[in-house]
Chains A and B, each alone.
Chain A
């Protein structure tokens, strides 16, 4: 069984056998260690043998679609829920049995803010600071999170982004060694997201360990040392963001157009022959005129053949992409692969195509890994 850690060390593509990754990080002390975690609500299986390792001092992003089990995982790690099986260690302790000992060492930001509408940011942060022996300075924390202007406003009058930042302030005020943040940038405007992301990055530089759940690919690209992609209660893939993107492999995508610029779809009778000539399987890819070659990496000969083929038919090769996809595309691919025969597969391809067409394909994920 290849582990994500070994794969990372060897610079390989990441291992994606479900249940396989995240098994061990030799020599790295772990802040969170989860093996074979199971949880069901009645007959609904929410966690189905989840493995998760969060090395000390790193930011790990737990990424997955709605209902993947992210929040349940966070709540089990926090001791809110028991599990139905598996081993869990948080800072070396059992989250249920040693709950009291963990509370002062773990900062928690829940998805639902959990703040009374009549409360005001400054008093809430000050009163929470008094739960800890060695808390942060409340006023400085409010300043840092851009809440100083709203410090005496009632919670119910704060904007969505301000509410989220207050929730983060309450998670940070005890200066915990481990932070567990459930969708920390949800509902924030771009400026607030940038503030929060840079603070999270600084906390990491200062040696804190952070586990965050998110749907936001930008959070992952800009912050995470490692990503754990989960779906339906299992790990689908794990590794650095760069490793995950590399896992999608090369691909060939193109759009054909007539001389007047209108998109042209390849006739279904020709699709098979052209695909075979290019060495793979060709299929429509979302919007009209877009196609995608599966099963074969593009090479100079296949590109030349395709250009020739277009010339013979008087068609323009309006768009051509041969690079790897973005993290978003890879994420959708992974989820689709984890759900064979599911509707989301074609939806994933459509959305991936849109991302590429919008020019995000080339941005990929440069400069966003570990550093």
Chain B
């Protein structure tokens, strides 16, 4: 009874769908085991939502439309925060370490193509974001009785989430593919903090003082948070401007990443 491994295979890969499904399952299993990823993508946004939803300290809450409650301003801000965490921090750091461990190199010698690996990684982000959305929107509804504002526009929300995911995932991969893993970890965390405080996430860019506000209005986190505020009916205005800015960031970061990404 010769072991089965001794028999030569037929030398063919499985179907692309089977390969992507396998890589996606691996990514999801590993993501669920990285506690630091779970903290930044799930725990942190939930804590921020509960805190700022209960304690009206955000200027956004104070200046919202008459009759608005803190949660109306907090939910879009925290959803945007969650997308930045999933793309920039989670994908950036995990990919950076995979590169430094040689995982990307080894997979490069397997039948899984780079495009298929990328699809699996994007799929993982989509799953993470779905969990985030269910948790955050569910808590907002259950704890704070949140409902979308009167002028809400699902299309704007979907486009904002898609472009924001593209922009921040590409930025995470840009760092992961060029810097050492430790540098990627430090820089993504620093950028995340900057985005929270000065990047228009918690405090809308137009409410930041002077030059800080002018700078913040150009960054993708502000564009994402602004489009979500408009899309969810928290603020009124034209979403086209912030969506175009977000799209430009997504396109620019994707092109730059494709040109500079080093697999080992």
> A residues within 8 Å of B by Cβ?
78-80, 100, 103-106, 108, 110, 112-119, 123-124, 127-128, 130-137, 140-141, 144, 170, 172-177, 202-203, 206-208
Q: Is B98 an interface residue (CB 8 A)?
A: yes
Give the number of A-B contacts (CB < 8 Å). Answer: 127
Determine if A132 and B33 form an interchain contact, defined as CB atoms under 8 angstroms apart: no
Residue of A nearest to B15 (CB): A133
Residues of A within 8 A of B30 (CB): 116, 118-119
Residues of B within 8 A of A112 (CB): 101-102, 105
Determine if A140 and B10 form an interchain contact, defined as CB atoms under 8 angstroms apart: no
Contact for A133 among B14, B21, B102, B113, CB less than 8 A: B14
Residues of B within 8 A of A140 (CB): 3-5
A-B contact pairs, 23 of them (CB 8 A): A103-B111, A104-B9, A104-B13, A106-B109, A108-B110, A110-B109, A112-B101, A112-B105, A113-B102, A114-B102, A114-B106, A116-B98, A123-B29, A131-B13, A132-B9, A132-B111, A135-B9, A141-B5, A144-B3, A172-B5, A174-B9, A176-B9, A202-B3
Instruction: Report the Cα distance A202→B4, complex, angstroms.
Output: 12
Contact for B102 among A110, A118, A128, A134, CB less than 8 A: A110
B8-34 interface (Cβ within 8 A of A) = 8-14, 18-19, 21-23, 25-26, 29-30, 33-34
Instruction: Report the Cα distance A140→B6, complex, angstroms.
Output: 11
Determine if B12 and A133 form an interchain contact, defined as CB atoms under 8 angstroms apart: yes
Instruction: Report the Cα distance A131→B23, complex, angstroms.
Output: 9
Instruction: Report the Cα distance A172→B9, complex, angstroms.
Output: 10
A208-B8 CB under 8 A given contacts A100-B113, A103-B109, A116-B101: yes
Instruction: Report the Cα distance A138→B38, complex, angstroms.
Output: 30
Residue of B nearest to A203 (CB): B6
Residues of A within 8 A of B105 (CB): 80, 110, 112, 114
Which 7 residue pairs of A and B lie closest in terms of their CB atoms, listed nearest first? A114-B106, A175-B9, A114-B102, A130-B22, A136-B5, A133-B12, A206-B6
Contact for A134 among B3, B12, B18, CB less than 8 A: B12
Classify the interface of chain A: helix, strand, loop or mixed.
Answer: loop
Determine if B19 and A130 form an interchain contact, defined as CB atoms under 8 angstroms apart: yes
Q: Is B179 an interface residue (CB 8 A)?
A: no
Determine if B8 and A175 form an interchain contact, defined as CB atoms under 8 angstroms apart: yes
Instruction: Report the Cα distance A140→B4, complex, angstroms.
Output: 8
* Residue of A106, A140, A174 most packed against chain B (CB within 10 A): A174
Residue of B nearest to A117 (CB): B101
Residues of A within 8 A of B110 (CB): 103, 108, 128, 131, 174
Residue of A nearest to B100 (CB): A112
B78-129 interface (Cβ within 8 A of A) = 97-98, 101-113
Determine if B102 and A104 form an interchain contact, defined as CB atoms under 8 angstroms apart: no
Residues of A within 8 A of B264 (CB): 80
A132-B14 CB under 8 A given contacts A119-B30, A175-B9: yes
Residues of B within 8 A of A79 (CB): 109
Residue of A nearest to B24 (CB): A127
Q: How far is the CB of B146 from chain A (nearest CB, A)?
A: 35
Q: How far is the CB of B132 from chain A (nearest CB, A)?
A: 21
Instruction: Report the Cα distance A79→B111, complex, angstroms.
Output: 13
Residues of A within 8 A of B8 (CB): 175-177, 206-208
Determine if A144 and B5 form an interchain contact, defined as CB atoms under 8 angstroms apart: yes
Instruction: Report the Cα distance A103→B114, complex, angstroms.
Output: 12
Q: Is B259 an interface residue (CB 8 A)?
A: no
Instruction: Report the Cα distance A207→B7, complex, angstroms.
Output: 9
Instruction: Report the Cα distance A123→B112, complex, angstroms.
Output: 16
